[in-house]
Amino acid sequence: MQVRRFEHFDDLASWADDWDRLSDGVPFRGWTWASTWWRHYGESAVDCRLAVLGVFDACGSLIGVAPWYVAGERGRQRVIRFLGSGEVCSDHLSLLARPDQQRVVVGAIARWLLHANERPDDASDDAMPWDRIELIGVDADDPRIDLLTSHLDLSGCAVYRRLGTPCMWSELPDDFDVFLSGLSRTRRQKMRRLKRTLLDSGRAERHIVTCRRQLDSALNLLIELHQRRQRALGRPGCHASAAFEAFLRDVAARQLALGQLQLHSLWVDRKPIAAEYQVTGNGVVYAYQTGIDPTRLDLEPGHAMQLASLDWAMRQGYREYDFLRGDEPYKSFWNARRCDTVEVRIAAPRLGARLRHAAWVTGSEVKKWMRQGWNSSKDPRE
């Protein structure tokens, strides 16, 4: 068993297919998503280095990946994070390994991390001193992250876990009417009426991008609708970030070529009212971003787009529809189930790192207590 650190994606390119095979079909763990994110957020960042760990067996085959980078923060602190972190808001991130090999892979990664911190001033290829690890967008029941935290906790690291923002998902049956029958009576009647009077009336058209020449105009529409809706709500919208928009356009072209991208738009009376960016993998549709026309709320564009997307997904044989992070009320409308996530923070087994960690945990707990106290003191009728 050998662990190798990669500082350049070019050195990893020959293992891209192996990387994807280890990703469990989750697009946010895949080579395309991670490498595109690094191109737009990591390569030009100050004091930011790629720190992907590849685990190889005795035959030289890639059997595990820690898809990480390390960033400088507050002077000399070095923080390890997942590729895809930050404003891109990637979900279901994890260490990559086959289920039958995850124990040996995670053990090798944990030992490498501990060894890399034993000689912080060592300039050898194996040295990658770090102060803490921050893992966000992780499923609460992820066994690989549990194994990693257990290894490091037993080796003197300080580990802190807290609940993050949950993901929401719906199971998809084979038949659309069966899915609707699982909704409450009021919701079921409302959706059947919307489907009959809008989607099946001949007024509505659903467009799906199928080739590269359609992509730019479809993305322009999604971005326009998303930003208009966010500005109507008094928010800047994620496309106010030039880096995010450049990332999305780049990754969309790459995912379309791989057959992972499903970019839908819904038109009524030949005018667009909604658009949705989806990625797919392993029988699951992941709804990454939606935009609606805030001037046509009378047509319920959000519900109409969701109805059309779910109908399409079931017709294509997908078994799950993942609304991703956020517990907004509209997700519960579709009887979506909750998938808890956690945020994990691990301090290196050095006195300075553990003291900074303890101070941060104390401050975090005080802030949580104050928020809970404020919420409980409010009038529940407000």
Give the whole-angstrom CA distance, residue 297 versus residue 294.
6
**Residue 378 CB-half CA count within 13 A:** 9
pLDDT attached to residue 125: 54
Give the whole-angstrom CA distance, residue 12 versus residue 65.
11
Confidence of residue 382 (pLDDT cuts 50, 70, 90): very low
Q: What is the pTM of this model?
A: 0.92
How far from 379 is each of 173, 329, 332, 369, 376, CA to CA, in Å? Answer: 42, 21, 25, 18, 8
- pLDDT: is 163 or 364 the higher one? 163
pLDDT attached to residue 377: 39
Give the whole-angstrom CA distance, residue 29 versus residue 205.
33
Q: What is the CATH number of domain 2-166+340-377?
A: 3.40.630.30
Give the whole-angstrom CA distance, residue 322 versus residue 319.
10
| Three-state SS letters, the chain | CEEEEECCHHHCHHHHHHHHHCCCCCHHHCHHHHHHHHHHHHCCCCCEEECEEEEECCCCCEEEEECEEEEEECCCEEEEEECCCHHHCCCCCCCEECHHHHHHHHHHHHHHHHHHCCCCCCCCCCCCCCCEEEEEEEECCCHHHHHHHHHHHHCCCEEEEEECCCEEEEECCCCHHHHHHCCCHHHHHHHHHHHHHHHCCCCEEEEECCCHHHHHHHHHHHHHHHHHHHHHCCCCCHHHCHHHHHHHHHHHHHHHHHCCEEEEEEEECCEEEEEEEEEEECCEEEEEEEEECHHHHHHCHHHHHHHHHHHHHHHCCCCEEEEEECCCHHHHHCCCEEECEEEEEEECCCHHHHHHHHHHHHHHHHHHHHHHHHHHHCCCCC
Q: Where in the chain is the domain with CATH 3.40.630.30?
A: 2-166+340-377, 173-318
pLDDT in tens, 191-218: 999 999 999 999 999 999 999 999 999 9
pLDDT attached to residue 45: 87
pLDDT attached to residue 74: 72
pLDDT in tens, 345-360: 999 998 888 898 999 8
- 97 forms beta bridges with 64
Q: What is the CATH number of domain 173-318?
A: 3.40.630.30
Confidence of residue 124 (pLDDT cuts 50, 70, 90): low
Amino acid letter, residue 221: L
Give the whole-angstrom CA distance, residue 169 versus residue 335.
8
pLDDT at 376 over 80: no
pLDDT at 375 over 70: no
C-alpha closest to that of 346 among 127, 103, 82: 82
pLDDT in tens, 1-10: 899 999 999 9
